[in-house]
Chains A and B, each alone.
Chain A
């Protein structure tokens, strides 16, 4: 019984080692599997992963409209005070006052790309952009206003 287990163990071990070697051998012979991006050389064809988190941006459509309602959920969700929502009150055609954003200030230098603001946003107004060349000579350039000047909220986003 002991001998049977012993031999079984040896063969099992050799089998599992060979399985590992088959995998590396496959990678050795299939160079198209190589995932290295030769970064500064392939700037034009650089492919980043879909979930790459580079910075927070607010997408605008062609009418310069965004989806941000100014609810400050992102500001509350942010663990280190990266986002500051400055709100204002618009007058709607019916004469009602409506809350909207004046500025959405984003401090890139404080951001840890934790994605919590994007999860918190109820109207999908902000997303993570796959950009990463963020170095600048002046620190004040890292403080960004995410909404374009003169932009307003999209119709139908509450």
Chain B
């Protein structure tokens, strides 16, 4: 059957036949790099048009509808505009850090793609601490935001960056604890192990109440971590003009913009992997016929379907809820999400020991 893993193994075999193993590895790396970059470009275009359409329909508007059929080329036209715009560096800015920050944001997003399983046996790097790697690397994101805010030499940028720092540091705790719930139930940090443990049902069904609570907390926490509304204090258009990227223009701004959307994709992919089974089709216990029928849908479609479903939920949040104040934001984390997720992980651990899950 046609699948991404067959294509990748065919390429691997062909390269190993033609060249020696070192050159084959180098060429595979180049191919993977090109694929990642083109995935970034496509994701940026698709998610921007999706965001604009979703926001328009939720606000009883039409949304972009002029460029291309039903406005589908709008983000392409926007990218073209951003490419030809001048990338200005302010006079008072720390030039080196100012120009470095967007690239760090981008590199972090690229690093995070490594352990994500896009389809069955189709993964760049299946390292044995995959989940830990994701939560560790995603924290580097805050450095690029702080760097951009500090180097801009602008009070709005600095305030936005500082808010973002407080926000990411606190929300990482509850995101980490809700990830840990799944790690406790699976007994492994490896992404492929976590997915294979869901072959007889996704964790959100198998783990019932504790996993559902963990899932809700995870979605709230990653919305905060990616600086999206209702937690977009780092940008806060109405009070800080644009927060940490106030001074950025042209392609440097576009890199921040792209990194934000790719981060949304990545956290949703992680959420889909942990709670909704990643590429694993919808399997119910021992219903062989049903499970077999579900296997006919390619695993990559399952993965992207679940991921885009979560992205849609996060967009739904963004266009429904008003922005929180900074003290409300920290109250929500320290007085509600953290105690609840600590209690919840206790519950999940008891459940894992006593085998209360299905």
Is B336 in contact with A36, judged by CB distance below 8 angstroms? Answer: no
List, in ascending order, chain B residues with CB within 8 A of A17's CB.
Answer: 320-321
Is B316 in contact with A25, judged by CB distance below 8 angstroms? Answer: yes
Is A24 in contact with B316, judged by CB distance below 8 angstroms? Answer: yes
Q: Is A28 an interface residue (CB 8 A)?
A: yes
What is the chain A residue whose CB lies nearest that of B59? A27
Q: Is B286 an interface residue (CB 8 A)?
A: no
Report how many residues on chain B are interfacial, defined by Cβ distance under 8 Å. 14
The answer, among B60, B336, B340, for a CB contact under 8 Å with A34, is B60
What is the chain B residue whose CB lies nearest that of A38? B62
The answer, among A21, A35, A36, for a CB contact under 8 Å with B320, is A21
Chain B, 283-320, contact with A by CB distance < 8 Å: what is the 0/1 string? 00000000000000000000000000000000011011
A21 to B315 alpha-carbon distance, docked (Å): 11
Q: Indicate the size class of the contact surface on chain A.
A: 10 to 19
Q: Is B125 an interface residue (CB 8 A)?
A: no
CB distance from B179 to the nearest CB of A (A): 21
Is B321 in contact with A10, judged by CB distance below 8 angstroms? Answer: no
Which residues of B from 53 to 69 have beta carbons under 8 Å from A?
54, 57-62
Is B61 in contact with A24, judged by CB distance below 8 angstroms? Answer: no
CB distance from A116 to the nearest CB of B (A): 32
What is the chain B residue whose CB lies nearest that of A31? B57
| A24 with B62, Cβ < 8 A, contacts A10-B336, A10-B340, A31-B57 known | no
Is B336 in contact with A24, judged by CB distance below 8 angstroms? Answer: no
List, in ascending order, chain A residues with CB within 8 A of B319's CB.
Answer: 24
A10 to B331 alpha-carbon distance, docked (Å): 13
What is the chain B residue whose CB lies nearest that of A33? B60
List, in ascending order, chain A residues with CB within 8 A of B57's CB.
Answer: 27-28, 31, 34
Interfacial residues, chain B to chain A (CB-CB below 8 A): 54, 57-62, 316-317, 319-321, 336, 340
6 A–B pairs (Cβ distance < 8 Å), ordered by A: A10-B340, A23-B320, A24-B316, A28-B316, A34-B57, A35-B60
